[in-house]
Amino acid sequence: MLPLDDLRWQTYKGGYHLHFDATPFLRELYENGLPKERWLELWDELHHQGDVDSASYAVVPHLLNAARLSRKLDWNCFGLLATVELCRMDNSAPPPEIADGYFAAIESAPAILCMHADHEWNELLTVTGAACIALARGNRTLGNVLIRLTDFKAILSEELGIGWQ
């Protein structure tokens, strides 16, 4: 995991393939958690229309570490992790200095989720967590279906006003 004071953060690029230093978001995540609008900014910077880049990969180990340290899981950690991992195959590989930490974080997702198994999970946490478990175990198809299910439900409820049971 790349330390937050490492200068390479300033050279990494996000989903728009422009320089994006994610450390202010990560510091805030570790200290207080991120409010919805800050999560939206982070998602937007790290993932754009299927594009991810070095900053996206560098953030993933920190998302899992923040989840490990947290008393309550945030679905955004797992949704963003799954989204970055699903986009990885169509984008550049993680830089060598963060690749091991990135792949170790993907593999650690099931264990971190299990640490919180006795807490209440809402539907988004359940589906994004299940997607991460599928991806960690090499089942990209199931992980993709689960993440797309969250998109489908959002379209039905927010865009079309159709309830989902």
For residue 121, report the phi and psi dihedrals to the nearest 5 degrees.
Answer: -120, 130
pLDDT, tens digit (0-9, with 9 covering 90-100), for 60-78: 999 999 999 988 888 899 9
**pLDDT surpasses 90 at 153:** no
Least confident segment among 24-33, 68-77, 114-123, 125-134:
114-123
In 3D space, the residue among 159, 160, 18, 147 whose CA is nearest the CA of residue 75 turns out to be 147
Q: Are 17 and 53 in contact (CB under 8 A)?
A: yes
**pTM score, two decimals?**
0.87
Q: Are 132 and 110 in contact (CB under 8 A)?
A: yes
**What pLDDT is stored for residue 146 in this prediction?**
87
